């Protein structure tokens, strides 16, 4: 049984923080569209898992875990303390699938717990459809809403060409020139407030499926993307794909990240890990610190971790599709109390099904309730 890499799969429906989308975005065979709230402008589509029983992205066996011992304290101690960057609170976008369900089911006995534990907490906004004409305005709708509340939004650009290596999440921009133009437009919507950008999940950890020339070209585009985003908004913090603690060994992942620009302060503020996965926060902290040490970038590079459903860790059998016995993890926060760990984020909002306990990509109240009760 293979371990799901990031379980970022099968684009076509909305996952979590977005329920209004651009026009004409739904892929054939995708799950049901979500009706937008009447006051919300269209927002982007996001990935959902495959329903075939195998993850869409490539991953190692369940036993191929890298060591997770903490690195030497020298580098860790040099990193900026978390409290120095905590700043404002994370942004909770008002239009989400879980919020739609809560509003539609006020008398359901599960509603109070789901509302307080999931719907009331911030999660990421994904931009997964290649729509150059509207991407700037859709990003701006989120960043301006966050700025009005003096909060920090989490944005996920997910349009790299050959996304998911032709698997269930295939799609994205038609080529790297189009991707560069899309990123330019994305950056134009960032505004001037603080924003966290989780740049292209799986794009680095899964890059081994590409021929060497295509992989190098992708890394060049990712490095450029980071530079463009940070130049457009110096308050933006951009994080690069480190996979997770059960995927590539830290040294190998760091070598790939360096090629993608993650060690350069002009492009990067650090790395992200565990997107849509289940590995424990403790394991991810240790792994991310190893990756950062091996990356050899500036001492203030940090990491952000997806804690949306890792409260009980990864299932021992490597199951990836709505595995039983999972729990939500630590609440989203910019104040982790861990040196070098800049934030715990809900990149994949809990309650979004992988396709086994509900329609793939849909908010599934029974699954959500199991995660939080």
3-state secondary structure of 258: helix
Assign 92 to helix, strand or coil.
coil
Starting from the edge strand earliest in sequence, which strands make up the sheet with 302-306, in order?
125-127, 154-157, 195-198, 236-241, 270-273, 302-306, 341-345
- Phi and psi torsions of 193, nearest 5°: -85, 170
> In the numeric block, which tokens belong to residue 12?
């076509």
Distance, CA of 269 to CA of 273 (rounded, Å):
14
Instruction: Look at residue 115 and give its three-state secondary structure.
Output: helix
Please give the positions annotated as active site. Answer: 164, 202, 354
Query: How many angstroms separate the CA atoms of 10 and 12, rounded?
Result: 6
Tokens of 225: 């993307």
d(CA 96, CA 363): 9
Alpha helices, DSSP H, located in the chain: 73-78, 97-104, 111-114, 135-148, 176-188, 212-232, 250-259, 281-295, 365-372
The answer to whether residues 268 and 240 touch, using CB atoms and an 8 Å cutoff, is yes
Q: At what angle do helices 212-232 and 250-259 cross, to 10 degrees?
A: 70
CA 354-358-364 angle, to 5 degrees, is 95
């Amino acid at each position: 049984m293979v371990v799901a890499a990031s379980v970022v799969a099968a684009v076509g429906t909305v996952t979590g923080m977005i329920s209004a989308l651009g026009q004409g975005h739904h892929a054939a065979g995708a799950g049901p569209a979500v009706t937008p709230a009447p006051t919300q402008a269209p927002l982007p589509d996001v990935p959902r898992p495959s329903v075939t029983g195998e993850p869409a992205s490539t991953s190692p066996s369940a036993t191929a875990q890298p060591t997770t011992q903490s690195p030497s304290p020298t580098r860790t101690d040099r990193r900026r303390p978390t409290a120095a960057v905590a700043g404002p609170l994370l942004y909770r976008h008002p239009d989400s699938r879980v919020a739609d369900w809560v509003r539609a089911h006020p008398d359901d006995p599960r509603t109070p717990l789901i509302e307080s534990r999931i719907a009331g907490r911030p999660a990421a906004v994904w931009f997964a459809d290649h729509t150059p004409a509207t991407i700037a305005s859709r990003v701006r709708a989120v960043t301006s809403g966050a700025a009005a509340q003096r909060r920090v939004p989490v944005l996920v650009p997910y349009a790299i060409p050959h996304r998911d290596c032709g698997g269930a999440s295939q799609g994205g921009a038609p080529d790297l020139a189009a991707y560069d133009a899309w990123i330019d437009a994305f950056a134009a919507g960032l505004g001037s407030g603080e924003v966290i950008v989780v740049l292209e999940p799986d794009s680095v950890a899964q890059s081994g499926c590409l021929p060497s020339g295509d992989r190098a070209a992708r890394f060049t585009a990712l490095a450029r993307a980071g530079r463009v985003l940070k130049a457009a908004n110096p308050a933006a913090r951009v994080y690069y794909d480190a996979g997770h603690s059960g995927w590539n060994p830290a040294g190998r992942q760091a070598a790939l990240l360096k090629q993608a620009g993650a060690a350069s302060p002009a492009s990067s503020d650090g790395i992200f890990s565990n997107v849509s996965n289940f590995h424990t926060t403790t394991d991810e902290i240790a792994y991310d610190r190893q990756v950062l040490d091996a990356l050899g970038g500036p001492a203030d590079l940090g990491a952000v971790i997806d804690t949306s459903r890792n409260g009980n860790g990864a299932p021992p059998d490597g199951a990836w599709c709505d595995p039983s016995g999972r729990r939500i993890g630590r609440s989203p926060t910019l104040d982790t109390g861990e040196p070098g760990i800049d934030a715990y984020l809900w990149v994949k909002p809990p309650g979004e099904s992988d396709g086994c306990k509900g329609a793939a990509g849909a908010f599934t109240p029974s699954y959500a309730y199991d995660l939080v009760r």
